[in-house]
């Protein structure tokens, strides 16, 4: 039952992804003022690349601003940001005397207070984007007037098998968020490429009610918008709207990141979403349990084989259009390997992400 439920859910996600039509820009003269926000901590190696990409955007300079909040960096991040002041980049430095558990939400809220844009767009300090990134998202906003817009984030420049596996698994997650929007049940998004109306952020009291968690400035805020304004969320399915970033170099970094992402589930208010998350976790538990029992009762191995075949086929059908969109179809060769690894990973993260602390940006948070 759990196996077929999982297969049905994955194929449902595929249909949600396909329901979102590729976005075509309209011939609309730019008029929307945009505030691009970045919360940065110890990003001296890459933040200059992100700033350069944003400054080079094919969008009227007078219609967008870049505000970067330095979250107590101990390297030269702040100095690098400040060096771009002549080009209009604004720097805010957090200076709380008391420790917080949600520095990123604090950083974004501080930036929004001084922002002048109608549309807020958040990204990360280690992201890359093409010159038409901003104009594409704003054009999508101008055509649809959504309160919140999620856009694709994709890993690139992989240097190892581990990073390529992450890219494929991350496409699964990005597709999950897009498919939820396509199926009218928004569930997740990524703050590395997220846009929303400033007035909506203010009307919903920003991150109030979700500010006790270090993470969740993206996904939990999406839930607030979906609850208050049903049907007002869109996904910009366009190549020019993609933001690129890197996978984690080590298993430890990867685990800490996924624990952080999983920790947001404790704040889910939609019981159906919680039920599905638990059902998927139990499905993976059943795979692992049956595999172990099969060592003692060989007949069970037939059931395990059937479960894995169904899982693999469903995920292949789901990931094929996603890898096509990302122009990374070659990643599907790693799906067999990932199908097995995903079981142990999902079981562990499901437990660890909801029961413990994790490291993020050099801090221990929960």
What confidence score (pLDDT) does residue 140 get? 98
State which CATH number among 3.40.1080.10, 3.90.550.10, 3.40.50.1000, 3.40.50.1980 fits the domain covering 20-256: 3.90.550.10
How does pLDDT run across 17-38, given as a tens digit for each residue? 999 999 999 999 999 999 999 9
- pTM here is 0.92
| Residue 310 scores a pLDDT above 70 | yes
Band of the pLDDT at 361, cuts 50, 70, 90?
low
| Model confidence pLDDT, tens digit, residues 124-183 | 999 999 999 999 999 999 999 999 999 999 999 999 999 999 999 999 999 999 999 999
The pLDDT, as a whole number, for residue 232 is 97
Residues in the chain: 366
DSSP assignment of 82-94, as one string? HTTGGGT-EEEE-
Q: Could you give the 3-state DSSP secondary structure of residue 113?
A: helix
Mean pLDDT over residues 189-204, rounded? 97
Which residues make beta-bridge pairs with 149?
195, 234
The predicted structure's pLDDT at residue 270: 66
pLDDT of residue 257: 85
Q: Which of 254, 242, 210 is nearest to 325 (CA)?
A: 242
Which residues of the chain form CATH 3.90.550.10?
Answer: 20-256
């Amino acid at each position: 039952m759990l196996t077929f439920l999982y297969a049905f859910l994955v194929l449902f996600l595929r249909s949600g992804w396909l329901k979102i039509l590729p976005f075509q820009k309209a011939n609309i003269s730019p008029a929307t003022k945009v505030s691009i926000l970045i919360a940065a901590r110890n990003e001296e190696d890459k933040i200059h690349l992100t700033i350069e990409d944003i400054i080079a955007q094919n969008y009227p300079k007078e219609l967008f601003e870049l505000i970067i909040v330095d979250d107590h960096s101990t390297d030269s991040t702040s100095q690098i940001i400040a060096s771009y002041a002549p080009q209009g980049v604004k720097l805010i430095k957090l200076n709380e005397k008391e420790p917080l558990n949600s520095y990123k939400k604090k950083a974004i809220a501080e930036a929004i207070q001084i922002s002048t844009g109608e549309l807020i767009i958040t990204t990360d300090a280690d992201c890359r984007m093409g010159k038409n990134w901003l104009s594409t998202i704003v054009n999508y906003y101008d055509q649809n007037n959504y309160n919140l817009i999620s856009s694709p984030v994709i890993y690139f420049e992989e240097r190892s098998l581990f990073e390529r596996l992450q890219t494929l698994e991350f496409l699964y997650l990005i597709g999950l968020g897009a498919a939820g929007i396509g199926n009218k049940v928004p569930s997740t998004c990524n703050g590395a490429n997220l846009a929303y109306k400033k007035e909506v952020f203010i009307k919903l009291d920003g991150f109030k009610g979700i500010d006790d968690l270090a993470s969740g400035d993206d996904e939990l805020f999406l839930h607030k918008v979906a609850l208050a304004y049903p049907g007002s969320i869109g996904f910009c399915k366009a190549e020019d709207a993609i933001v690129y970033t890197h996978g984690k170099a080590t298993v430890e970094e990867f685990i800490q990141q996924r624990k952080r992402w999983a920790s947001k589930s404790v704040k889910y208010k939609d019981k159906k979403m919680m039920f599905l998350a638990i059902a998927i976790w139990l499905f993976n538990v059943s795979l692992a349990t049956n595999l172990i029992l099969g060592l003692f009762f060989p007949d069970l191995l037939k059931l395990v084989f059937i479960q894995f075949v169904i899982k693999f086929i469903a995920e292949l059908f789901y990931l094929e259009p996603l890898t096509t969109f990302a122009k990374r179809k070659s990643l599907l060769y790693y799906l067999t390997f990932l199908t097995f690894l995903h079981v142990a990973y999902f079981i562990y993260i499901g437990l660890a992400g909801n029961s413990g602390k994790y490291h993020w940006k050099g801090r221990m948070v929960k």
